[in-house]
Amino acid sequence: MKPKLPSRHWLLAGALAAAACAAQAQSAPRAGPFMVAAVGRSDYNYDCYIFADCSNARATSGKLGFGYRFGTFAVEGWWSDFGRGNTNDPGGSLRLQGLGASASWLMRFGEVAEGLLRAGLADTRYTRTRFGDRTTASEFQPTFGLGIGFIVTPQISVELAWDVTRGDAPDTGTVLVNAASVGLRLRF
C-alpha cells in the first residue's frame, strides 16, 4: 500500500505558518504615513440582463491611496477608477469608480518583500450605458485585495496587487471587477 501524502491544503497551510514565523523574526517595520499610486488592468464580469451572466469587459485602471502604518497593520484611504470597458450591447460601456477606506495586514518575507491583505468598504459609483440609455448608481460595497511589495529602499517599494469589488444598479444588474496593478508605495 502506498503511503498517503499530505494534501495540498496542509502543505500550503504549513508554508504560510513557516512564513509567518519567519516574518515575525524580522525587524519591525517603521510606523508612519505612506502613499500608493498604481496602474493596471481591470476585468469586469457583468450581467447582460438582471439574472443572466453575460461577458467580460476589460479596461485600464488606476488607484491612489494614502494611509498610516502601525507596524504590521495599516489604515488606508483609496480612490480607484477601474476604467471604462466596452460591453456586448450596441454602444454599451460600463465604468466603476470608488472612494473607500480599508484596513490592511502586512507580513514581511525577509528583508526584500512583504505580503499584503486588505479589506474595506467603498462608496462605488457604477455607470452603465446600454442601447443609448445611461444608468448611474452609487452605493457602499465591500472591497478586498492581496499584494506583494518588493522593497527597493526603506522608503520605496514596488507593489503588485489584486483588488476586487462590485457595483450594483437596480435596472442593469451587478458587475464584479477584478483589477491587477503595479504601483509604487512611498513611505514618509
Angle at the Cα of 139 from the Cα atoms of 137 and 142, rounded to 5 degrees:
130
Parallel, antiparallel or unpaired: strands 113-130 and 133-151: antiparallel
Question: pLDDT of 91-119, one tens digit each?
Answer: 778 888 999 999 999 999 888 999 999 99
47 pLDDT higher than 80: no
Would the pLDDT of 77 be above 60?
Answer: yes
d(CA 44, CA 90): 17
At 187 the three-state DSSP class reads strand
> What span, in angstroms and rounded, lies between the C-alpha atoms of 123 and 166?
10
Domains assigned to the chain: 30-187 (2.40.160.20)
Which residue in 79, 43, 86 sits closest to 63, CA to CA?
A: 79
Beta-carbon-side half-sphere exposure of residue 59 (alpha carbons within 13 Å): 21
Q: What is the mean pLDDT of the chain?
A: 83
* Banded pLDDT at 7 (limits 50, 70, 90): low
| Highest mean pLDDT out of 40-54, 104-118, 156-170 | 104-118
By the 8 A CB rule, do 169 and 137 touch? yes
H/E element, 8: helix 8-25
